[in-house]
Amino acid sequence: MTLGWGGIARLCLCNMAIGGLAALPVNLFNRLMTVDLGWPAILPGLLVALHYGVQMTRPMWGHRSDAKGGRTPFIIGGTVCVGIGLVMTAYGIGYLSGAMALAVWIVAYALIGLGIGAAGTSFLALLATASPDDRKPAAATFAWLMLIFGAIVTSIGTGIALEPYSEERLMAVVPVVALLAALLAFVATWGVEAKLGPAPAPENPKLGPAIAATWADPAARAFTGFVFLSILAFYLSELVLEPFAGHVHGLSPEDSTKLSGGKDGAALLGMLLAGGLSQFRIGSLRIWAMVGCMISAAGLIGLGMGLHLLAFTVVLGLGNGLFVVGAIGSMMRLASERRGAAGTRMGLFGAAQAVAAGLAGLIATGILDIARLAMPTQAAYATVFGLEAILFLAAALVAGRLLHARPSEPQLQPGE
């Protein structure tokens, strides 16, 4: 049995909760550590890298949700775990200092990574098996939009609630955010798995053989490579686009922020286009993932060549949006082909995504710093954008191989 539109929409509230919680370490806590507490900027960067590194456990969480025959406990438990990590981080910011604060933050960010890995992997595996094939494009689109919406609502709401800022107010607001997210995850998952009926027995009851079986599947192995390459490319520009706008084009902070907003708006348009067109059988999710990679590469090449800043930023955002929905939808489709191994497959894809996202910021900023020592600023940024474009084109080639799988392998139909 599968879910209808209302059930899919309610289940995607889980991603809203996860997105809301994940926004605080990257935005609020980053700012408080570096500006208010005076820690070096690399500290929150390393902590975020730690939380991505811990998400290497995603295959384990996915397999456990397969083996236990239920994903709801992992979704709710993971959300609670993230909330505990956020509260610990806030406590360290407000009431601790020095080595004690650092020790608490390391444990807290590890908990955040574990919780996001458990909740996010189990949610995507449940959504993949609960949504009919003809609704996967829309389900992927809605899940990603809810993730972004959760981050926006939490960031704005928390910012308003913290005015005027104080340590006491921080310790009052963050636990409320964590509690609301846990309640949202509970509401989203209540009764869903009971409605779907008994879960399929796991293909392999042990983690090692389950991962080996997934890796032995050529389609799954190729798709894991696609996820790594494309996510690495996707995140490389995150930390360099606004500095590029300032260093090369002379934009003020408020104007560079608006530029990022324009990119995000174009990405939302791309998501809606990819989901809507695939839903109406115009192209397929994997085709849109490939097209999105190529359009993103075109936007990066234009930026690197010094062409119109806003126009090619919008092209980059549009390509990113097409790619995201195409990739996530294809991930759901490929994971659900083996119902007894959906969690393990989603975990393997998620681990590749986490490693790529964690490496991207370090690689981009490191290459930029080195390049600026040896060449003009414009050329240094062009080097980063050029590398990112090459990675996107490589990801498109991998997606092209997936589109031409051997007849013996499962094929994706248009709109799936």
User: Residue 133 gets which letter from DSSP?
Assistant: G
Would you say 166 and 228 are in contact if contact means Cβ atoms under 8 Å apart? no
Tokens of 83: 């909330």
**C-alpha span between 83 and 358 (Å, rounded):** 21
CATH (one of 3.40.630.30, 1.20.1250.20, 3.40.50.10860, 3.40.50.80) for 1-199? 1.20.1250.20
Q: Convert the pLDDT of each residue in 131-155 to its tens digit.
A: 887 787 788 888 888 888 888 888 8
Q: Determine which of 51-55, 73-77, 217-221, 271-275 has the lowest per-residue pLDDT on average.
A: 217-221
**C-alpha span between 66 and 70 (Å, rounded):** 7
Would you say 119 and 56 are in contact if contact means Cβ atoms under 8 Å apart? no
> In 3-state terms, what secondary structure has residue 359?
helix
Q: Convert the pLDDT of each residue in 23-47 to its tens digit.
A: 888 778 877 887 788 887 678 878 8
Which position has the higher pLDDT, 117 or 400? 117
Please name the residue ranges forming H helices in 131-166.
Answer: 136-161
CA 333: distance to chain centroid?
17
**C-alpha span between 287 and 282 (Å, rounded):** 10
**175 preceded by cis ω (within 30°)?**
no
Single-letter code of the amino acid located at 188: A
Single-letter code of the amino acid located at 389: A
Confidence (pLDDT) at 201: 66
Tokens of 414: 């248009």
Confidence (pLDDT) at 135: 80
Q: Convert the pLDDT of each residue in 368-398 to its tens digit.
A: 888 889 999 899 999 999 999 999 999 898 8
CATH topology of domain 205-407: Growth Hormone; Chain: A; (1.20.1250)
Q: Would you say residue 90 has pLDDT above 80?
A: yes
Q: Convert the pLDDT of each residue in 164-177 to its tens digit.
A: 888 899 999 999 99
Would you say 384 and 365 are in contact if contact means Cβ atoms under 8 Å apart? no
| Residue 199: band (very low, low, confident or very high) from pLDDT cuts 50, 70, 90 | low
Q: Would you say residue 357 has pLDDT above 90?
A: no
Q: Convert the pLDDT of each residue in 311-348 to its tens digit.
A: 999 999 999 989 888 888 877 777 777 667 777 888 88
| Residue 200: band (very low, low, confident or very high) from pLDDT cuts 50, 70, 90 | low
Please name the residue ranges forming H helices in 280-308.
Answer: 285-304
Q: Are both 1-199 and 205-407 of the same fold?
A: yes
Would you say 20 and 151 are in contact if contact means Cβ atoms under 8 Å apart? yes
**C-alpha span between 299 and 293 (Å, rounded):** 10
Confidence (pLDDT) at 280: 78
Domain ranges of the chain: 1-199, 205-407
Which position has the higher pLDDT, 412 or 399? 399
**C-alpha span between 129 and 70 (Å, rounded):** 12
- Cα R_g (the chain), whole angstroms: 21
Confidence (pLDDT) at 413: 36
**C-alpha span between 130 and 197 (Å, rounded):** 10
Residue 308: left if φ>0, alpha if ψ -120 to 50, beta else—which one? beta
